[in-house]
Structure 1
Amino acid sequence: MSKFITALAATALATGSLAGLTAPAHATEAAAVSVRANPTVDSPIKDLLDDPDTAAILEKHLPGISDHPARPQFEDMTLAEVMPYSQGEVTQAIIDAIDADIKALEE
């Protein structure tokens, strides 16, 4: 986990790529209420970690994510956005497993 976050942080700092990933303020504010009420794998990692149930799911599949020192660099991204920078640590299979666990919370 730390290897992919370090790579993500280095890439983001070197290229400034995180700046292009932000949405307009009005779009983010409107989406924030909906996402917090019903988190999904498409929610920002920060929102998933702010909810105790989804934080436990993320920790189960990506141990150490909540306390990682580079968290400020990736917490506004979704899991899918982090995946290309993760050096194989975040895979579609892991995202699918997290998605299944989050959906099971709704049952």
Structure 2
Amino acid sequence: MTKTLFAAAAAASLLLAGVASAQTAPAPAPTTSPAPEHENHAAHPTIDSTIEALVADPATKAVLDKHLPGLDRHPAYGQFKAMTLRQIAPYSQGNITDAKIAAIDTDLKALPTE
């Protein structure tokens, strides 16, 4: 277990160095209004889903690409894909902040349900 956690932490550190270098100009704000809080978002993964689940859904992958471009192309993706953004944040050297997670969460909640 410790070896797996260490590998995940190392992968997260490498990931964030790659994500930081891959970032570009911020994407324009979405043109749709946020969905009401009471709306069911079960059709898409949430901020508490694994990175792999977020990448597998085209709509949520677009949100990740907006905030963390290149995340799914990182060489260590296979080592951290089963973790959530909150789980890898402490190993991100400050690249995945609470504010960034909140922004991703807001965008995920704004996605239309199918």
- Decide: shared fold, TM above 0.5: yes
Q: Which residue of 1 aligns with 2:77?
A: 71
Q: How does 1:94-105 map to 2 (within 5 A)?
A: 94-105=100-111
Q: Pick the aligned partner of 1:45 from 35, 51, 54.
A: 51
Structure 1 counterpart of 2:97, which letter?
A: T
Q: For structure 1, which runs of at least 5 residues remain unmatched after alignment?
A: 1-11, 20-35
Structure 1 counterpart of 2:4, which letter?
A: G
Q: For structure 2, which runs of at least 5 residues remain unmatched after alignment?
A: 8-41
Q: Aligned Cα RMSD in Å? A: 2.6
Structure 2 counterpart of 1:70, which letter?
A: A
- In structure 2, what is the Cα distance between the partners aligned to 1:49 and 1:59? 9
Q: Please list the CA deviations of residues 37-86 of structure 1 after superposition, one character each: whole Å capped at 9, or x if unmatched.
A: 43110000000000011001001001110111110011000000000010
Deviation at 1:16, TM superposition (A): 2.7
* Alignment length (residue pairs): 80
Larger Rg: 2
Deviation at 1:18, TM superposition (A): 6.6
Per the alignment, do residues 45 and 87 of structure 1 end up closer, same or farther by CA in structure 2, a change over 3 Å counting? same
Q: Which residue of 1 aligns with 2:87?
A: 81
Which stretches of structure 1, 4 residues or longer, exceed 4 Å deviation after superposition? none
TM-score, with normalisation over the residues of structure 2? 0.62
Q: Which residue of 2 aligns with 1:90?
A: 96
- SS state of the match for residue 88, structure 1? coil
Structure 2 counterpart of 1:85, which letter?
A: Y
Structure 2 counterpart of 1:80, which letter?
A: R
